[in-house]
Amino acid sequence: MERVSKITLFLLFVFQVVSVQAHEVRPAYLQIQEESPHVYSVLWKVPRTVDKVLDIQPKFEERFLLTETVPPRILEAFVLYTFKLSGEESLANSELRIDQLNTTGTDVLVNIQLLNGENHSFLLQPTQNSVHIPETPSIWMLAKTYTMLGIEHILFGFDHLLFVLALLVITKGFNKLLKTITAFTLAHSITLCFSALGFVNLPGPPVEAVIALSIVFLAHEIIKVQQGHPTLTSRRPWLVAFSFGLLHGFGFAGALADIGLPTNDIPMALATFNIGVELGQLMFVVVALGIFRLTQSIIPQQNWIRKTVPYVIGSVAAFWLIERIVAF
C-alpha cells in the first residue's frame, strides 16, 4: 500500500505540472522592416495566456520616434502591436532593448530587414535584453539565433520529449536504438522543411492532438511488451518512429511559423533551426540514458518502476489528448 500511495502522489504531481506546462512557452517576435530611408514598420508580437499578456516592450534610442499605427490585435496565443519607427539616421550602430524582459522566462526573436537587402537576426534573452545593431549583418549570428531557438523548442516541447522517452523505453539494443532515433530525426526533418517552405500544411490543433495520441499508443505498446506480447514497435521501432516522426515534424513547423523566418535567409534559418532541434534531442537522449544507468546502479529492484513508467507516460499523454480535443 505504501508503494501504491507513492505512485499515486507522483501521478498527482505530474498532472499538476502538465496542467501548467501543456504548451511550451513561445518567444516574442519583433519584426522591423525599412519602408523608406530611416522609416520602419514595426510588428511586435507578444505571447499571452487566457488572463495575462507579458508586460515587455521594445525600446529604441531617443533619436528615434516610435508611434502606434494600428490598435492592438488579440490572437489566441499572442497580442500583435503595429508601430512606425522614424529617425534622422539609420538603425545601424544604435542600441535596441526590451524593457522588463529580465523579469520573464521568455526570449525575443528580432528580425530587421533593410532597404539595401541586408537582414539582421538576434535572439534577446532575460539575461541579455539588449543588442547593439551592427552596420553589417552576420550570417553566424543568424545561425546561432535559429540554432538556439531549435534547442529551446525541443527542450520545452514536452510532448516531443515524452515520445522520445517512450521510444527509449521500448527499444532494446544500441544499434536498434540508433536506427530508431535516426528514423525519427529524418522523418520530422522532412515534414518540418516541407511545411515551413509551404509545400504541405496541416491544421495545428488536430496535429497536436494526434501527437498526444501517438504517445498514448507507445505507452500501450510498452505495457503489451511487459506482459510478454511482442508488438510492431518492439519488433520494428524504427518504422513506428519514422511514421509518427512525420507527424511530429508538422508540430515543429507550427512552432517555427509562430516564431517567423527571415525573408532573405530562409534556407539558413530553417537548416540551423533543424540542427538545433536535433542537438536538443541528442542532449535529452544522452541525459535520459544516463539517468537509466544511474537508477539501475542505485535501485536494485526496478520491476515496479518499469511497470509504472508506461502508465505515467500514457496518463500524461491522455491528459494532453483530452485537453487538445476540447480546445478544438
Residues 275 and 307 in one domain: yes
- 237 and 93 in a single domain? The answer is no
- 123 & 185 share domain: no
Residues 133-149, mean pLDDT to the nearest whole number: 89
Domain count across the chain? 2
> Is position 23 within any domain?
no
Q: Residue 276: inside a domain, yes or no?
A: yes
Reported as a pLDDT band with limits 50, 70 and 90, residue 1 is very low
Residues 73 and 219 occupy one common structural domain: no
4 occurs within a structural domain: no
Residue 210 sits in the same domain as residue 274: yes
pLDDT of the residue at 307: 82
What pLDDT does 301 receive? 61
Among candidate residues 106, 136, 166, the one where a domain is terminated: 136
Same domain, 130 and 55: yes
Last-in-domain residue among 84, 109, 136: 136
In this structure, is residue 262 part of a structural domain? yes
Cell reading at 245: 516522426
The closest alpha carbon to 44, from 14, 71, 13, belongs to 71
DSSP state at residue 61: -
Same domain, 34 and 130: yes
In Å, what is the CA distance from 213 to each residue of 187, 204, 264? Answer: 18, 14, 37
Q: Mean pLDDT throughout 85-103?
A: 91
Taking residue 33's Cβ as centre, other Cβ atoms within 10 Å add up to 16
Residue 183 lies in a domain: yes
Q: What is the pLDDT of residue 50?
A: 64
Q: Whole domain around residue 311: which residue ranges?
A: 154-326
Same domain, 79 and 219: no
- For a pLDDT cut of 90, what percent of the chain falls above it? 55
- Dihedral of CA atoms 276, 284, 177, 175 in degrees, nearest 10, equals 80
Residue 18 domain flag = no
Whether pLDDT at 190 is above 50: yes
Q: Are residues 190 and 289 in the same domain?
A: yes
Q: Tell me which range, 42-51, 88-97, 216-225, 295-304, is most confidently predicted by mean pLDDT.
A: 216-225
- Whether residues 124 and 163 share a domain: the answer is no
- The model's pTM: 0.82
Range 222-233 average pLDDT: 91
Q: Is residue 7 pLDDT above 80, yes or no?
A: no
Q: Are residues 313 and 264 in the same domain?
A: yes
Q: Across the chain, what does the average pLDDT equal?
A: 86
Evaluate whether residue 3 is within a structural domain: no
Cβ atoms within 10 A of the Cβ of 275, count?
Answer: 16
Mean pLDDT of 115-127: 89
Dump pLDDT digits (tens) for 305-314: 778 889 989 9
Q: What are phi and psi of 24, to 5 degrees?
A: -70, 150
Whether 95 has a pLDDT exceeding 60, the answer reads yes
Residue 129 lies inside a defined structural domain of this protein: yes
Q: Within this chain, do residues 235 and 312 fall inside the same structural domain, yes or no?
A: yes
What number is the average pLDDT over the span 6-35? 63
Give the tens place of pLDDT for each residue, 166-183.
999 999 888 899 999 999
